[in-house]
Structure 1
Amino acid sequence: MDLRKENILIVDDDIDILELLQRHLQSMGYHTYKAVSVKEALYILKDTFIDLLITDIQMPEIDGLQLLKFSNEHYPEIPKLVVTGYPSVQDTLQVIKSGATDYLTKPFTKKELKEAIEKAFLQNKKRKTHTPKTTDSKPNIYSDMVGESDAFRKVTNIVDRVKDNKATVIIKGESGTGKELVARAIHYSGKFSREPFIAVNCAAIPENLQEAELFGYLKGAFTGANENRNGFFQAAKGGTLFLDEIGTASLAVQTKLLRALQEKEITRVGSRTVEKVDIRIIAATNANLIEDIKNNTFREDLYYRLTVVEIIVPPLRERKSDISILTEKFIRKYGIEFKDRLLRISPEALQILERYNWPGNIRELENIIQRAVIMSDGVVDVKDLPEFLKYQINFSNNELKPLREMEKEYIQRVLNHTQGNKTKAAEILQIDRKTLREKLK
């Protein structure tokens, strides 16, 4: 018998209503979370497993309808119940369209609340029972990673296959592609998610301290070792140790890592006692380890031990179709953080983002969106983007044209952007109006 209490999130800007709902729900045996705003509710939804969402509609800044639409899109499995003191036919239609399972008008009795909650859980159970399961389609959100491209799905397909075992994984990809996100997805989506996830950037640890930091040490093992201390291996016991930038590990550390992988045992610095370890190791690199092997800076036997499962994270330029989804994620994140509301991006600004090749990958995109949100007045528009992005022109081989033709097309684009205003167009082109008139002739 499942004795787990269901988690119910209550969202209402009226503190008295929140307290009343919480008392009723706790007396019914439910576990409750409270939020006085949609912003607070979004943080709870992100970090907590919620079984039912109960929300008011009329709230300042972001209203309950936006919360319903957002949760219906990103948490479709959660049933939603609306309570409101402003009932109307139009409100009811909007609520149902937004994915709510029921609508409760204030004031309501404890019995009415209980019946509405039981109805919501029952409808959700029936929906899950009658929803056909498909094997060829996956949601476009995987842990904190998002995407719909074939390149993204190749990555998540491998994550699905390794998440429930402790096979060693190496993740390769350019800087900024999200290698640590992939590692976290493997850990937190699998059956070992309740165990520790320890992330270590090998490049950030001085070479002479790497061995002590990873494997621990005994008091007196070296100058400054004033006590016995556990290393990252001991901290990750039963869980996952993520070794980022593994190519920067010293050769001495590489030797001990090899033994840890082969024999499942380690030795602290200054000790002769062997300790058994039960952890999963995920390594990551943006370097060419084969070249490092040729240069005798990386052990070949360690490379093959690490490469039991290999995941290649594609650069953003190879998954252009995911840019709009990633942009939405970052605009939502920083809109709530900096503006206390959900923002959107104009089609023109999104088009500019989609045609750029992103040498800094997802990290660069996130930084630019963060800046754009700060600079925006409610809608992220072209004016909020860095200047270098606005005038990017990317060519494919079949688009190569004479300079005169390209100049003509670009001038026309600028004129379209300024809605025919020649003075503004001349300023953008950094030429005077007379020169612009001559070129237009």
Structure 2
Amino acid sequence: MLQKENILLVDDDINILELLQRHLQSMNYHTYKAVSVKEALHVMKDTFIDLLITDIQMPEIDGLQLLKFADEHYPELPKLVITGYPSVDGALEVIKSGAIDYLTKPFTKEELRQAVEKAFEHGESRKTKTINKGGTQKFVNINNEMIGESEAFQKITDVIERVKDNKATVLVKGESGTGKELVARAIHYSGKFSRSPFVAVNCGAIPENLLEAELFGYVKGAFTGANDNRDGFFQAAQGGTLFLDEIGTAPLSVQTKLLRVLQEKELTKVGSRKTEAVDIRVIAATNSDLQQDIKDHKFREDLYYRLTVVEIEVPPLRERKSDIPLLVDKFLRKYGVEYKDRLLKMTPDALEVLKRYDWPGNIRELENVIQRAVIMSNGVITVKELPDTLKFKIDFPQTSFPSLKQMEKEYIQRVLLHTQGNKTKAAEILQIDRKTLREKLK
């Protein structure tokens, strides 16, 4: 059965929303409604949207702000505007903000149909285009999570482009907080399997004695408490992607069964002898050294090679600092709308502090800092709103530092050079008397 396209409708007029919904549902589209930009952003974050239809005149944050946000963070998403205040200048502003077309209220059902079909046709043509801003390629995934322009980031996006449309097993490596799950989601949602399930499992968060049953399912009576037959995460992800985070924490018994699933494309539920075929892509992630775990007999070597058909190394934030301004802008938009109902800015000095810091907690730490700064800010975020640990933990150059006495000597020499040897003028500049200056010159 052909799946319906998802259309997000944004308007503060409930009557218009209901009218649009009735028309579009009769055309076999699936719709989501939002009465504000803030509500729309929540829907866009959690739901795959094929078309955005928005009004312009709305309280607090208007539709133009939403269009600009969507154009930057969802560049392949077609956008259609409905407005009751048409004008030449308004139309130009709408098109500049990334909309494909706009409808003037009131409009007929047929006019709506034609505009929607045009938007979808235009959206398909845009999918083949490269995203460029300021001459630098920038990648944003379908869920508005991954963003960057650094060379390290581009290497990741290149691999994502190569693997997104096949079901090769992928291992994502990187420190905690670097965004390994975001890479997995980007692979899934940017490829041809995006309409299929994406199931994320944190292997380290499930007790060892339950992990096997949770992954592969179980039958009634398999163990105490197994009162019914139950599918596992593999069955839930059928046809799509299963993301296994912290794979290094999985016990050896689960690793053995996982290896068989990857090799044979079939599994056996706990307590059953019947095998079931599975058709999924597995993406695993780890922040530990699996090769050392192999030496320590904690991880199966054959499973390691089965998982690393494609390997992606996600660099820490300290190695991609040119991405910090983009990430900051993203989090400012996210939490500005959530907490302040508006879009916030940051001063250059505050941004410079963020760029100097080494971010041991990576992107997760940066997001927490921005979240706190937005809460503490009354408007523009300055250095004052940043934590003291960032302001004073600065990486100084690895050079020798002159003593205070040496610096004083060099400064007095500079002043004397400026006054051409005039000690009276030099003493005035230094704000000391001539006797003190003579003593220092000795």
Bin the TM-score by the shorter chain: 0.7 to 0.9
Quick one: which amino acid aligns to residue 81 of structure 1?
A: V
Output the CA distance in 1 between the equivalents of 2:61 and 2:293.
53
1:325-355 Cα shifts (integer Å, max 9, x gaps): 1111111111122222222222221111111
Q: Which letter does structure 2 place at the counterpart of 1:61?
A: E
1:158 CA drift (Å): 0.9
Offset, 1:164: 1.3
Q: Deviations over 1:68-102 (max 9, x none)?
A: 332333344524435244x7776566555544566
Match runs of 1:355-394 below 5 Å: 355-394=356-395
Q: Is the 8 A contact 1:102 1:120 kept in 2?
A: no
Q: RMSD of the alignment, in Å? A: 3.6
On the 8 A contact 1:79/1:120 being kept in 2, the answer is no
In the alignment, which residue of structure 1 is the partner of 2:107?
110
> What one-letter code is carried by the residue in structure 2 that aligns with 1:169?
V
**What residue number does 2:49 align with?**
49
2:429 alignment partner in structure 1:
none
Residues 392-407 of structure 1: pairs in structure 2 closer than 5 A = 392-397=393-398, 400-402=400-402, 404=404
* Post-superposition offset of 1:204: 1.4
Q: Structure 1 CA distance, aligned partners of 2:236 and 2:117?
A: 40
d(CA) in 2 for partners of 1:292 and 1:211? 20
AA partner of residue 205 (structure 1): I
How many angstroms does 1:206 deviate by? 1.8
Percent sequence identity is 66
Residue in 2 aligned with 1:350? Answer: 351
**Segment drifting more, 246-255 vs 44-53:** 44-53
State the shift of 1:225 in Å.
2.8
**1:381 corresponds to which letter in structure 2?**
T
1:81-125 residue CA offsets vs partner (Å, 9 max, x unmatched): 35244x7776566555544566777xx5536x9669857975996
Cα offset, 1:171, TM superposition: 0.7
Contact residue 323 and residue 354 of structure 1 kept, 8 A: yes
Compared CA separation, residues 5 and 400, structure 1 to 2 (3 A) = same
1:310 pairs with 2:304: no
Structure 2 letter corresponding to 1:210: L
Change (3 A) 1:35 1:189: same
- Shift in Å at residue 296 of structure 1? 1.1
Query: What does residue 69 of structure 1 align with?
Result: 68
Q: Does 1:268 align with 2:269?
A: yes
Q: Deviations over 1:161-199 (max 9, x none)?
A: 111111111111001111111111112222222222221
Partner Cα distance (2:230, 2:138) in 1 = 43
Q: Secondary structure at the match of 1:402?
A: coil
Give the 3 Å change call, closer, same or farther, for CA 393–218 of structure 1 in structure 2: same
Q: CA separation in 2, counterparts of 1:406 and 1:355?
A: 28
* Cα distance in structure 2, aligned partners of 1:76 and 1:38: 18
Which residue pairs with 2:432 in the alignment? none
Q: Letter of the aligned partner of 2:402 in structure 1? A: P
1:386-410 C-alpha deviation (Å, 9 max, x unpaired): 111112221344x5543649999xx
Separation in 1, partners of 2:278, 2:5: 36
The letter of the residue matching 1:345 is M
Partner of 1:254: 255
Q: 1:190-205 alignment to 2 at 5 Å?
A: 190-205=191-206
Partners of 2:112 and 2:239 in 1: how far apart? Answer: 42
With normalisation by structure 2, the TM-score equals 0.78
CA contact (8 A) 1:348 1:382 kept: yes
- Structure 2 runs not aligned, ≥5 long: 409-439
Aligned to 1:425: none
Is 1:222 paired with 2:219?
A: no
2: CA distance between counterparts of 1:65 and 1:406?
59
Q: CA separation of 1:71/1:296 partners in 2, compared to 1, >3 Å: closer, same or farther?
A: closer
The AA in structure 2 aligned to 1:146 is: I
User: Over residues 178-236 of structure 1, what are the superposed CA-to-partner deviations in whole Å (9 max), with x where a residue is unaligned?
Assistant: 11111111122222222222211111122222222222223333333333322222222
Output the amino acid matched with 1:63: D
CA distance 1:275–1:36, change in 2 (3 Å): closer
Cα distance between partner residues in 2 of 1:220 and 1:169: 35
Which amino acid in structure 2 is aligned with residue 175 of structure 1?
S
Match of 1:427 in 2: none
Q: Which amino acid aligns with 1:308?
A: V
Deviates more, 1:225-234 or 1:122-131: 122-131
- Taking the TM superposition and a 5 Å limit, the aligned residue runs for 1:116-155 are 118=114, 133=129, 139-143=138-142, 144-155=145-156
Structure 1 regions of 5+ residues with no counterpart? 409-440
208-217 vs 254-263, greater mean Cα deviation: 208-217
Q: Aligned letter for 2:248? A: G
1:162-311 residue pairs with structure 2 within 5 A? 162-311=163-312
- Say how many residue pairs are matched: 401
TM-score (norm. length: structure 1)? 0.78
Check if 1:83 corresponds to 2:83: yes
User: In 2 relative to 1, CA 174–114 (structure 1 residues): closer, same or farther, beyond 3 Å?
Assistant: same
